[in-house]
Amino acid sequence: MTRYEFSFRQEVMLEKGASILADLFRYGQEKNLTEPNRPVQVMYDLVWTAKQDILLTTLEKELDHIEGQFDLAKEFLSRIETDGNI
């Protein structure tokens, strides 16, 4: 992967992370789940940290790991929105 491709992937992942953060924030606000120990808030914090790590990483493998975290957070949100369970 060229440096340009790596940088482009970082940009795409930053956008993906921002989208997930916005969705988690919206859900937490709608359901009044803003206490720090709530699962939605914990997931938000984990995604926030992963998003910050994107620009610090230098390896494609690390980006893969972060993307896996984003995918997990998306699935988490999808399920709690569908099931209504937190």
What is the mean pLDDT for each group of 10 consecutive residues in the chain (86 residues)? 96 98 94 86 96 96 97 95 74
pLDDT number for residue 59: 96
Q: What is the per-residue pLDDT for 16?
A: 98
Please give the model's pTM, rounded to 2 decimal places: 0.90
Q: Identify the pLDDT of residue 14.
A: 98
pLDDT of residue 86: 58
Angstrom distance (rounded) from CA 86 to CA 79: 9
Q: What is the pLDDT at residue 84?
A: 66
Q: Tell me how far the alpha carbon of residue 82 is from its chain's centroid.
A: 19
User: Which pLDDT score is estimated for 58?
Assistant: 95
pLDDT on residue 64: 97
85: left (phi over 0), alpha (psi -120 to 50) or beta: beta
